[in-house]
């Protein structure tokens, strides 16, 4: 189950979730974040259709606002509709897109959808556990574990993109996903289930550079010379992906000064599930700053183990694996392989 708020890199996470060979995507819940709930629901459904996900995988609209704070949007990074600048995605009113939405798109179906997915897969211990992935604020997941505590035993791991070790991107110390709903993140961090955090320290190494973009547009092409033209996209899907990455690249250049390309933050969550060997991680106590004057939403990573008192994944223990290194080439090979599975040429 993927909980996403649908921006550009969230779209690439959906692509990987559909096309990684050992991942079985059960569904998507959307959550407040970069754009209106209506846009994020539609965007997730548009991606599922564009990426040829099996028809039974659907989008469950989720929380429209954080647990206690005021909702934030991020048009500066993802455009007004959450997928700014993307050309060639199917339209939201396409019946094939609408068929991917649970209900009529109005919020509130996420908890029910997650409960169904976990209980039917876990089947009271007769089946298998589910990995819950978050590529946005963790409001839906915090609500889910609060409303359905008995289903937590059906979850084997939470994997989330968010936080930073000593750095932020939407304040001096807070990363956007955690900053949007810090209380929700703390609730999830306290659940006594394994967690893996993919922080910006690592996602900032997954940069879509021009050579990677060239391979995406036209596999096997010669690397585009610096300043020279990129190859032409050989299929409509590859064109669509290049416009998605192109918009994100401009946002990152303008806002954060990334000159080599944009980081594919959210796709790393799924890459971690498919190929954990691409990452090195260390286990720490992680909490979220909920009351700081300058540091609300900071992930406080207890590198020298001041605070954990037991070995649990819950409230008193080293509750989280924190990724600290990525095999960047291995990740982009997986990314390009997934595109090739979605769009064979």
Closest to ligand BDR by CB, 31 vs 218, is 31
Closest to ligand BDR by CB, 64 vs 73, is 73
Residue 130: partners with Cβ closer than 8 Å, 6 or more residues away:
1, 26, 117, 118, 121, 122, 154, 155, 156
Residue keyed to tokens 């909702």: 71
> x/- string (CB under 6 A) for ligand BDR, residues 95-134?
----------------------------------------
- Binding of ligand BDR at residue 77 (CB under 6 A)? yes
- Binding of ligand BDR at residue 289 (CB under 6 A)? no
Question: Minimum Å distance from CB 165 to ligand BDR?
Answer: 13
- Residue from 74, 274, 289, 343 binding ligand BDR (CB under 6 A): 74
Angle (CA) 246 252 256, round 5°: 165
Is the distance from CB of 266 to CB of 133 less than 8 angstroms?
no
Closest to ligand BDR by CB, 78 vs 109, is 78
Contacts of ligand BDR in 246-275 (CB under 6 A): 265-266
Closest to ligand BDR by CB, 214 vs 299, is 299
- The active-site residue out of 19, 78, 265, 316 is 265
Contacts of ligand BDR in 127-186 (CB under 6 A): 135-136, 161, 169, 175-177
- Binding of ligand BDR at residue 298 (CB under 6 A)? no
- Binding of ligand BDR at residue 278 (CB under 6 A)? no
- Residue from 1, 3, 10, 53 binding ligand BDR (CB under 6 A): 10
265 is catalytic: yes
> What CA–CA distance (Å, rounded) separates 140 from 171?
23
> Which residues are known catalytic residues?
265
């Amino acid at each position: 189950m993927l909980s996403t708020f649908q921006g550009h890199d969230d779209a690439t996470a959906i692509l990987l979730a559909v096309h990684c060979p050992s991942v079985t995507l059960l569904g998507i819940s959307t959550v407040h974040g970069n754009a209106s709930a209506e846009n994020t629901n539609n965007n997730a459904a548009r991606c599922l259709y564009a990426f040829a996900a099996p028809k039974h995988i659907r989008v469950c609209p989720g929380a429209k606002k954080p647990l206690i704070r005021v909702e934030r949007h991020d048009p500066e990074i993802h455009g007004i509709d959450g997928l700014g600048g993307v050309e060639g995605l199917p339209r939201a009113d396409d019946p094939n897109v609408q068929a991917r939405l649970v209900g009529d798109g109005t919020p509130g179906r996420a908890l029910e959808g997650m409960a169904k997915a976990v209980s039917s897969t876990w089947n009271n211990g007769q089946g298998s556990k589910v990995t819950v992935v978050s590529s946005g604020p963790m409001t839906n997941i915090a609500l889910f574990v609060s409303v359905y505590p008995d289903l937590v035993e059906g979850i084997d791991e939470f994997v989330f993109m968010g936080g930073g070790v000593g750095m932020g991107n939407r304040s001096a110390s807070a990363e956007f996903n955690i900053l949007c709903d810090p209380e929700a993140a703390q609730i999830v961090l306290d659940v006594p289930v394994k967690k893996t955090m993919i922080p910006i320290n690592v996602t900032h190494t997954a940069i879509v550079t021009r050579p990677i973009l060239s391979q995406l547009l036209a596999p096997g092409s010669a690397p585009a010379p610096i300043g020279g033209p990129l190859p032409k996209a050989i299929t409509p899907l590859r064109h669509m992906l290049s416009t998605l990455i192109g918009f994100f690249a401009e946002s990152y250049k303008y806002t954060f000064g990334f000159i080599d390309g944009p980081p594919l933050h959210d796709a790393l969550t799924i890459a971690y599930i498919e190929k954990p060997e691409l990452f090195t991680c260390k286990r720490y106590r992680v909490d979220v700053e909920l009351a700081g004057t300058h540091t609300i939403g900071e992930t406080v990573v207890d590198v020298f183990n001041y605070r954990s008192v037991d070995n649990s994944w819950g409230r008193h223990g080293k509750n989280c694996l924190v990724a600290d290194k990525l095999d960047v080439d291995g990740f982009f090979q997986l990314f390009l392989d997934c595109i090739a599975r979605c769009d064979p040429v």
